[in-house]
Structure 1
Amino acid sequence: MSTRTRTTIVRSGMVAAVVLVGAVLLVPGLADRLRSALLHLVGALRALGHGTLTLGDGFVAAIAVTLLTALLPVLLAGASRASRPAGVAGRALVSAVVVLAAAVVVAAQSSTPGERFRSVVLAGLVGVAIGALLDAAWHARHSAAHASGRTRRVAWTLAAAYALLVVLVATAGSPVDRGIHPWLTRAIAAGHRLGAPQWLDYGSVEFTANVLFFVPFGFFVLLLFGARAWWVGMLGGFLASCAIETVQALFLPARFASVDDVLSNTSGAVLGVLLGIVVLGRARVSAAGGQSRAAV
């Protein structure tokens, strides 16, 4: 596919996205109807059982907002033929401004404007950060190759320690958060008193922790095997999470196997892969720049 064709497709997608967002913002009640449709779909998926989407409705809606806003930096990059890696921060800033503007309009249509504004802003800015990471990884994909020998040796040591930690956490006879449950519950309640969205509950914190827990998985795969192994990091994260949940279901009665854990762990591995591509790409560019200055 040529650059011109790809740019045309992305621009068409951006126009469609703008029309959709405009309709949501300007048509009264459309946002609530879309949210209801989303939750109806979620309810159908929950009926499958096995811990599928057991999260609160508010957090599920926040995830949808995050996924949609993650597309903003990517669409902005694709819409400009002159997009460059240096423009990642600028596109993220423009996307953040769009999120804030949309949050103001959505909040104005809500019966609880303060709560709705904070919810959209938090979920939207997380999405912008993820989109900026994807944007940066896309521009770094050609320059990213392999880590240096010294970096790989350190990475092997850290990866071994991380693998041991994963095994210990996954095979613990009781949930690892049992000891901090009361403290975390009080912290969440304090956050709500300070204005945190109500969907930021124990289940959402646990889901987010599972995402972050698998970020090193994808990152270490990239450091150890190079950028071309990006698919190994993503697929490996999925398979490792499936293996963990299977072990818990078969051999650990006190643990609960969940599809949500597979989704969160795989998401973390994907983010780790993207982060690894960015780090390897920038390291290679910096090394090339240092060699050029040394030659001069």
Structure 2
Amino acid sequence: MFARHPYLSLATFVYLGVVGWATLTPQSGRASSNLLWRMAEFFDRYEATQWLTFSTLEFLANIAMFVPLGLFFVLLLGRRRWWLAIALGFLLTMVIEFVQQFIGGRVPDVRDIVANSLGAILGTLLALVLTAAAARKRRAGRVSSEPIASRL
């Protein structure tokens, strides 16, 4: 699997490293949190966007962080194993939340499990949609390459 897709494998491992850095390093005035606070303060200025609180933005950011993982896992494992991409996303977030209890400034949160899992599901669905046309072409190619007599 990794030998068949070396660049995709590398991109997946690099992104896993980014997720690890973002979720498993001590939290002390992180730039991402500062950005989310600034965004929340900006949205709070306008009545129409006051619902975008820090908590909501953090939840949406956790979803967004796991969308690429669902996508990468489906592309690496194949469309038939889409369920495994979701399971890996859920397992990864469970491990992250477990480890966070031992890291200074980190607090495990059930909302993170929900958001990260939702992100993995959305990434998996995105991968299935994006690869559907290629899968149809492959199936059509297999059918049309068979002799007509064998299709009857």
Say whether the fold is shared (TM-score over 0.5): yes
Q: How does 1:35-74 map to 2 (within 5 A)?
A: none
Deviating above 6 A after TM superposition, structure 1's stretches of 4 or more consecutive aligned residues are 286-290
1:277 to 114, 128, 134: 128
Alignment gaps of 5+ in structure 1: 1-148
Residue matched to 1:238: 90
Residue matched to 1:92: none
2:69 to 179, 193, 217: 217
Residue matched to 1:171: 24
Distance 2:32 2:96 in 1: 22
Distance 1:184 1:274 in 2: 27
Residue 186 of structure 1 and its aligned partner are, at CA, apart by 3.6
Instruction: Answer yes or no: is 1:268 the counterpart of 2:119.
Output: yes
SS at match of 1:196: helix
Distance 2:119 2:50 in 1: 24
Give the letter aligned to residue 58 of structure 2.
Answer: E
Alignment gaps of 5+ in structure 2: 145-152
Residue 223 of structure 1 and its aligned partner are, at CA, apart by 0.3
> Percent of aligned positions with the same letter in both sequences?
34
Are the equivalent residues in 2 in contact too, given 1:221–1:229 (CA < 8 A)? Answer: no
Are the equivalent residues in 2 in contact too, given 1:173–1:254 (CA < 8 A)? Answer: yes
Residue 185 of structure 1 and its aligned partner are, at CA, apart by 2.9
Residue matched to 1:256: 107
Distance 2:17 2:100 in 1: 17
Q: Deviations over 1:202-235 (max 9, x none)?
A: 0100000000101111111110111111111111
SS at match of 2:31: coil
Give the letter aligned to residue 209 of structure 1.
Answer: A
Distance 1:229 1:188 in 2: 38
Q: Deviations over 1:95-129 (max 9, x none)?
A: xxxxxxxxxxxxxxxxxxxxxxxxxxxxxxxxxxx
Give the letter aligned to residue 69 of structure 2.
Answer: F
Distance 1:224 1:183 in 2: 32
Give the letter aligned to residue 215 of structure 1.
Answer: V
- RMSD of aligned alpha carbons: 2.4
Are the equivalent residues in 2 in contact too, given 1:238–1:265 (CA < 8 A)? Answer: yes
Give the letter aligned to residue 134 of structure 2.
Answer: A
SS at match of 1:256: coil
Q: Which has the larger radius of gyration?
A: 1
Q: TM-score, normalised by structure 1?
A: 0.42
Distance 1:211 1:170 in 2: 13
Q: How does 1:1-296 map to 2 (within 5 A)?
A: 149=4, 152-174=5-27, 178-249=30-101, 251-285=102-136
Distance 2:99 2:21 in 1: 12
Q: Deviations over 1:225-267 (max 9, x none)?
A: 1111111111111111011110111x21320000010000000
Change in CA separation of 1:244 and 1:184 when aligned onto 2, cut-off 3 Å: closer
Q: TM-score, normalised by structure 2?
A: 0.79
Give the letter aligned to residue 22 of structure 2.
Answer: V
Change in CA separation of 1:196 and 1:189 when aligned onto 2, cut-off 3 Å: farther
Distance 1:171 1:181 in 2: 14
